[in-house]
Amino acid sequence: MKRTAMRGGTLEPWLRELAPARITVLDCKTGARFTEPSYVAAEYETVETTGRDPAAGGPRTFPHLTLRRYLAAGRESVRAVSDEEFLAAGGDPRDLDDPSLVRMASTVDGMDRFDSGFFGYSPAEAAVVDPQQRLLLETAYHALEDAGHPDAATDVGVYAGAGDSRYYPAHVYPRFAGQPGSVELVHSATANSLGTLATRISYELGLTGPSVSVQTACSTALVALHTACQDLLEFRCDTALAGAVSLNPSALLGYRHVPDGPFSPDGHCRAFAADAAGTSSGDGVGVVVLKRLEDAVEDGDRIRAVIRGTAINNDGRRKVGFTAPSTAGQTEVILAAQAQAEVDAGTIGLVESHGTATRIGDPIEVSALTDAFRESTTGTGFCALGSVKTNIGHLGAAAGIAGPAACGPLSTAGADHRELGAAAAPECEIRRGELDGLPAVLVQYAACCSAP
């Protein structure tokens, strides 16, 4: 890594022309809900996103055409794990022929290659820190750099979350378990705590705005984004970093499929497909740089997308089980976000859904979206519906950051339903009949509906 001085001097052409592109992120998850209708002529926050696609070995800027080309090419990051990789990761040779073991993974290459010297860590110090914290720190720096603010003013807020650490119990705690109360144990626990995630970024980058660690399970990234937007509107900071990370150091060991469970029997996620049988996990990290639009225009920043409104709620007990979604809760939060953004359903062209390919979750999402849209339109087939989980898997706490990164460039670039659906696999039996007469037109970004 190296520091570079870069400033974006002009607005993206689509923003100058105020092209009527519309996006909604409907992230329907356990815990908090978040919906993000966006309109390119809005007047709130600008967004710059930096992330790592699971198949890439380095930082990758997701906005604009990079992720769009990735999706249009039908790329899928979920891949088979070879026998050699499985054994090198600590797998039991006796499991190589276990038919219930699904050896598929979507991983971020190089999660162990933290640039410790750049941030002033010794190799021994860095080894104690959860790779999630290391990678998010690097990505936060890259996001500021890509946004043209490598030496950002100190009044920058940080809103970030991560999945539960799998690194600490497996690789760190055993080293100090016999030293209760020791300085080493306290230090290692702090270095892996979700509570110190945002603060580490603020400390290392010298940022003095609010520093808030967020943990709401799969909705973590979008709740962090929502919180950052609210603080910007309240002038608690002038720039904000929002993002999340989820890494599984043991991903190459695969998982055991349980019939009728939440995970796919073959490692592929077929959102909204007739043969949808569950989700698949993936690793990922992403950070967005947010500013109030008028400030970004005045500063000559490069504007990738604009967030017009956000909303958040919870189902309470209005669902069949703790981890299940509810139609009523999702409908309400969609309507709240539309009201806050001052848009009606007929102006929304793309919904990036949670889309986990579960037999309970997917139909509830479609039902909730339909109920909400019917409040303002009777139109049919005008809104595209997709899920990037078909490409990169379910990123857990980081899942929500992939949605804006995916649908922002697709919509602002003027993509229509035909272009969005160009990469759909012909082998995939979509539940198209179930969408007849409804607002949504199903699109799929990747040719991952059939096993390789």
Under a CB-based contact definition with an 8 Å cutoff, are residues 425 and 272 in contact? no
Coil/strand/helix, residue 352: strand
The tokens describing 242, both together, are 């929002």
For the stretch 140-174, what's the b/e string if a residue is b when 16 or more beta carbons lie within 10 angstroms of its beta carbon?
A: bbbbbbbbbbbebeeebbbbbbbbebbbbeebbee
Q: CB-based contacts of 89: which residues, under 8 Å, 6+ apart?
A: 81, 250, 252, 253
| Nearest Cα residue to 145 out of 302, 263, 255, 254 | 302
| Nearest Cα residue to 33 out of 399, 358, 334 | 334
Question: Residue 193 — very low, low, confident or very high, per pLDDT cuts 50/70/90?
Answer: very high
> Residue 44: pLDDT above 60?
no
Query: Which of 32-46, 58-72, 177-191, 274-288 is predicted with the least confidence, judged by mean pLDDT?
Result: 32-46
Q: CB-based contacts of 277: which residues, under 8 Å, 6+ apart?
A: 264, 265, 270, 357, 359
Under a CB-based contact definition with an 8 Å cutoff, are residues 237 and 157 in contact? yes
* pLDDT for the residue numbered 66: 53
DSSP category for residue 168: I
For the stretch 215-252, what's the b/e string if a residue is b when 16 or more beta carbons lie within 10 angstroms of its beta carbon?
A: bbbbbbbbbbbbbbbebbeeeebbbbbbbbbbbbbebb
The tokens describing 354, both together, are 């949670």
> Residue 90: pLDDT above 60?
yes
Read off the pLDDT of each residue in 169-193 and give the average, rounded to a whole number. Answer: 86
DSSP-assigned beta bridge partners for residue 48: 289
| Nearest Cα residue to 105 out of 139, 71, 80 | 80
Of 269, 354, 407, 448, catalytic: 354
* pLDDT for the residue numbered 34: 33
Under a CB-based contact definition with an 8 Å cutoff, are residues 248 and 281 in contact? yes
Of 28, 142, 149, 218, catalytic: 218
| Nearest Cα residue to 428 out of 365, 386, 366 | 386
Under a CB-based contact definition with an 8 Å cutoff, are residues 166 and 310 in contact? no
Longest dimension (CA), the chain: 65
| Alpha-carbon distances of 343 from 263, 309, 333, 340, 349, rounded to whole Å | 36, 9, 14, 8, 12
DSSP-assigned beta bridge partners for residue 250: none
Of 64, 142, 226, 394, catalytic: 394
**CA 411 from chain center: how many Å?**
17
> Residue 184: pLDDT above 90?
no
Compute the half-sphere exposure of residue 265: CA atoms within 13 Å on the CB side of its CA: 8
* pLDDT for the residue numbered 69: 61
Q: φ and ψ at 363, to 5 degrees?
A: -60, -35
Per-residue pLDDT reduced to its tens digit, 336-365: 999 988 888 988 888 888 888 888 888 898
The identity of residue 428, as a single letter, is C
* pLDDT for the residue numbered 427: 37
394 is catalytic: yes
Q: CB-based contacts of 356: which residues, under 8 Å, 6+ apart?
A: 262, 269, 271, 278, 279, 362, 387, 389, 394
DSSP-assigned beta bridge partners for residue 162: 245
Q: φ and ψ at 353, to 5 degrees?
A: -95, 175
The tokens describing 237, both together, are 């900071």
**CA 395 from chain center: how many Å?**
7
Report the number of secondary-structure helices (H) and strands (E) in the chain. Answer: 17, 16
DSSP category for residue 161: E
* pLDDT for the residue numbered 20: 29
Q: CB-based contacts of 341: which residues, under 8 Å, 6+ apart?
A: 37, 38, 39, 42, 308, 309
Per-residue pLDDT reduced to its tens digit, 400-426: 988 777 665 544 444 444 444 433 333
**What is the rounded CA–CA span in Å between residue 399 and residue 76?**
16
Question: Residue 257 — very low, low, confident or very high, per pLDDT cuts 50/70/90?
Answer: very high
* pLDDT for the residue numbered 68: 56
Q: What is the mean pLDDT of the chain?
A: 77
Per-residue pLDDT reduced to its tens digit, 141-177: 999 988 887 666 678 999 999 999 999 999 898 888 8
Read off the pLDDT of each residue in 313-326 and give the average, rounded to a whole number. Answer: 90
> Residue 386: pLDDT above 90?
no
% the chain with pLDDT above 70? 73
> Residue 432: pLDDT above 90?
no
Under a CB-based contact definition with an 8 Å cutoff, are residues 281 and 394 in contact? yes
